[in-house]
């Protein structure tokens, strides 16, 4: 994200920030795991928020609006995920992009984890400090908000994108449902469907 921004907003010869800044439109298309029984494999998710338990945004000066602050407060209260892991942070999708990705897409909060195994409650040989994490994420709710899925990128894209003045949206195809313990039968077809659906919408914007 920093390097994409630098390409358009920093004069690389003079190594100075340009007077006129460019705002990029950045869409992340990827794979993810569902945390809700009613979001089946091969369905599509557009993330309304990226909620990070990976600590990246804490290295940058940032602030939240009232809605984001309430979501984080409720998330910490309900999941008990706090500084013993990494205090969660949250950033919101670009509303100007999200409005186009409604039909055929589930909306909800995407949790971003700092790894594939322990941070996503997978066990090989090592025990987990929070073995109920998956259940807590699935059960979280606040108003109309719930956690739909998790992966390893969205909160960083949303957080840094917001700070740098870019419009960002994260789209996911669900390749496994962690609640039903089901997996896509064709990951390539699932990803292809997301790409085609997204491009159909993008060309119409």
pLDDT tens, 21-77? Answer: 999 999 999 999 999 999 999 999 999 999 999 999 999 999 999 999 999 999 999
User: Quick check: is 178 in a domain?
Assistant: yes
User: Quick check: is 89 in a domain?
Assistant: yes
Displacement of CA 41 from its chain's centroid (Å): 18
Domain total in the chain? 1
d(CA 127, CA 124): 8
User: Quick check: is 13 in a domain?
Assistant: no
Please check whether residue 182 is in contact with residue 42, taking contact to mean a CB–CB distance below 8 angstroms. no
Host domain of residue 151: 23-121+129-202
User: Quick check: is 7 in a domain?
Assistant: no
User: Quick check: is 63 in a domain?
Assistant: yes
User: Quick check: is 179 in a domain?
Assistant: yes
pLDDT tens, 72-124? Answer: 999 999 998 876 778 999 999 999 999 999 999 999 999 999 999 998 999 99
Domain harbouring 87, CATH code: 3.40.50.1580
User: Quick check: is 74 in a domain?
Assistant: yes
User: Quick check: is 3 in a domain?
Assistant: no
pTM above 0.85, yes or no: yes
């Amino acid at each position: 994200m920093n390097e994409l921004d630098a390409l358009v907003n920093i004069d690389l010869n003079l190594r100075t920030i340009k007077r006129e800044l460019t705002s990029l439109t950045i869409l992340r298309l990827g794979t993810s795991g569902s945390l809700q029984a009613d979001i089946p494999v091969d369905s599509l998710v557009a993330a309304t928020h990226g909620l990070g338990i990976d600590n990246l945004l804490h290295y940058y000066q940032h602030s939240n609006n009232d809605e984001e602050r309430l979501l984080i407060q409720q998330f910490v209260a309900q999941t008990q995920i706090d500084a013993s892991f990494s205090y969660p942070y949250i950033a919101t999708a670009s509303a100007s992009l999200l409005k186009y990705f409604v039909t055929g897409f589930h909306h909800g909060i995407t949790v971003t984890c700092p790894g594939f195994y322990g941070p996503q409650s997978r066990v090989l040989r090592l025990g987990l400090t929070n073995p109920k994490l998956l259940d807590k994420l699935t059960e979280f709710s606040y108003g109309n908000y719930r956690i739909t899925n998790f992966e390893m990128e969205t909160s960083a894209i949303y957080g840094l994108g917001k700070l740098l003045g870019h419009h960002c949206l994260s789209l996911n195809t669900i390749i496994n449902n962690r609640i039903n313990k089901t997996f896509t039968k064709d990951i390539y077809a699932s990803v292809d469907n997301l790409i085609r659906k997204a491009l159909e919408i993008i060309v119409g914007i």
